[in-house]
Amino acid sequence: MSAKPIVVVTGLGVVSPLGLGWEAFWRALLEGRNAAAPITHFDATGYSTRFAAEVRDFDPAEYVGKKEARRMDRCIQFGVAAARMALEDSGLQVGEANAHRIGVSIGSGIGGMQTFENQHTTLSTAGPGRISPFFIPMMIPNMPAGQVGIQFGLKGPNFSTVSACATGAHCLAAGVDMIRMGRADVVLAGGTEAAVTPLAVAGFCSMKAMSTRNEDPLRASRPFDRERDGFVIGEGAGVLVLESLTSALARGARIYGEVAGHGSSADAYHITQPDPSGDGAARAMWMALADAGMPLDEVDYVNAHGTSTPVGDPCEVAALHRVFGEHARKLVVSSTKSMMGHTLGAAGALESIVCVLATREGMVPPTINYEFPDPQCDLDFVPNVARSMPVRAALNNSFGFGGQNAVVAIRRYDSAPG
């Protein structure tokens, strides 16, 4: 059986609460900056949680025409903007000769929530005749991928995977498989979300899933800390240009790193809570390591799902102990959600970008707000200050409601030009 094609990363695009573009995003993470602040998108008076990590200073007209932007939900705008950044960063030229060999795998966990809410208000106040003809194509969660294909003329396989907070990671996995199976040479893969909206935030409040530290939002997201009380909702998008190594070398592309493997599993346990034993998460990690041909001791860093929920964080730690055994004590584990919040369907993509940059730059972002150790969470969480260290390989963990788990394995590419 022939060896699997090597899949590398040749472009990065980021829209995040910490900044636009991967350089600003990465710099903010290493500095330990926090994007949590009172909600400005709507009046959150009366909500049990009144803060979020919002994307600021984002003008969609910089990435797509004003007329087109008006026909896109905010989550689609984010996805198109991140895709444009990634494509430009890659230096890839799209034309008739290669368009059919460039695929798209970009998903959203929730889709066009703001459009949905706005149009429901229109229906309630003005009747069905006033609903926009663009309502459905602005709302459905496959449309970030569809619009990226339309905007850039990409004619290869094009679809989205929806698996809640595992969406971005599952989309990367799908992109890797497209290339491995020979169906594409290049895939724009990632996730996007814009769910800081009245109804979505109210729903999470009702679940009691989010932190209620309204008087001190900067200290609210505190993964693995004993005083954690829930996640901070965020928004944004991350897109990676995945490319076969053969294609990347042929065009002299800058290579950031290798997406070496991926794994996915189901807890089959509960609609929102993870399996307390960590079994499902552990199986996804084992699958990713096996797919990558990656021994346990090659992994230096894990970008944890680490949402800062009382139940979820210890389950992930249990899973890491299950997988890595004694090597777990040598791992460094951090949750960048402590700074950018939980970006839901975009999280797996943005955090895989963190892993790619950690291997390339030899730096690991911290887990900020780590003050009070929890006996159930007993690993090295890179507390509060970034760490300079060589990172040969990294895992990104993403776990979604419904018990859907996705893990991406990233390996340093030592021959990268540039």
Identify the band that residue 415 occupies on the pLDDT scale cut at 50, 70 and 90.
Answer: low
pLDDT for res 2? 62
Over residues 323-339, the pLDDT tens digits come to 999 999 999 999 999 99
Identify the band that residue 3 occupies on the pLDDT scale cut at 50, 70 and 90.
Answer: confident
Q: Taken in order 223, 224, 225, 231, is the CA torsion positive or negative?
A: positive
Q: Quick check: 418 pLDDT over 60?
A: no
Q: Are strands 186-193 and 102-107 parallel, antiparallel or unpaired?
A: parallel
Q: Is residue 229 within 8 Å of 221, Cβ to Cβ? A: no
Q: Which of 28, 115, 49, 102 lies closest to 353 in space, CA to CA?
A: 28
Identify the band that residue 105 occupies on the pLDDT scale cut at 50, 70 and 90.
Answer: very high
Instruction: Please give the Cα distance from 80 to 61 (Å, whole number).
Output: 11
Instruction: Please give the Cα distance from 374 to 379 (Å, whole number).
Output: 10
Instruction: Indicate where the chain has its CATH 3.40.47.10 domain(s).
Output: 7-250, 260-410
Q: Quick check: 368 pLDDT over 90?
A: yes
Identify the band that residue 414 occupies on the pLDDT scale cut at 50, 70 and 90.
Answer: confident
Over residues 166-209, the pLDDT tens digits come to 999 999 999 999 999 999 999 999 999 999 999 999 999 999 99
Over residues 69-79, the pLDDT tens digits come to 999 999 999 99
* Residue type at 175 in one-letter notation: G
The number of C-alpha atoms within 13 Å of 353 and in the hemisphere containing its C-beta is 32
Identify the band that residue 109 occupies on the pLDDT scale cut at 50, 70 and 90.
Answer: very high
Instruction: Please give the Cα distance from 165 to 399 (Å, whole number).
Output: 6
Instruction: Please give the Cα distance from 216 to 212 (Å, whole number).
Output: 9
Structure tokens at 305: 């799902």
Residues tagged active-site: 165, 305, 342
List phi, psi (to 5°) of 255. Answer: -115, 120
Class of domain 7-250: alpha beta
Strand partners, 15: 20, 237
Instruction: Please give the Cα distance from 76 to 28 (Å, whole number).
Output: 24
Burial (0-12, 13-18, 19+ Cβ within 10 Å), 409: buried
260-410 CATH fold:
Peroxisomal Thiolase; Chain A, domain 1 (3.40.47)
Q: Quick check: 108 pLDDT over 90?
A: yes
- The chain-wide mean pLDDT, for the chain, equals 97
Where does 228-330 show beta strands of DSSP type E?
236-244, 257-266, 299-303
To the question of pTM greater than 0.95 for the whole model, the response is yes
- Residues sharing a CB contact under 8 Å with residue 12, sequence separation 6 or more, in sequence order: 22, 85, 86, 89, 238, 239, 240, 241, 256, 353, 356, 357
Instruction: Please give the Cα distance from 117 to 181 (Å, whole number).
Output: 40
Q: Buried b / exposed e across 204-222, counting CB within 10 Å, b at 16+?
A: bbeeebbbebeeebbbbbb
pLDDT for res 91? 98
- Residues sharing a CB contact under 8 Å with residue 59, sequence separation 6 or more, in sequence order: none
- Integer distance in angstroms from the first to the last C-alpha of the chain? 34
- Average pLDDT of the segment spanning 79-98: 98
Over residues 230-249, the pLDDT tens digits come to 999 999 999 999 999 999 99
Structure tokens at 170: 């599952």
How many whole angstroms from its chain centre is CA 36?
A: 17
Instruction: Please give the Cα distance from 221 to 3 (Å, whole number).
Output: 42
Q: Quick check: 307 pLDDT over 80?
A: yes
Q: Which of 259, 281, 81 lies closest to 166 in space, CA to CA?
A: 281
Q: Is residue 213 within 8 Å of 220, Cβ to Cβ? A: yes
Q: Degrees (nearest 5) of the Cα angle 340, 346, 351?
A: 60
Q: Quick check: 98 pLDDT over 70?
A: yes
Strand partners, 16: 19
Instruction: Please give the Cα distance from 176 to 244 (Å, whole number).
Output: 9
Instruction: Please give the Cα distance from 10 to 91 (Å, whole number).
Output: 8
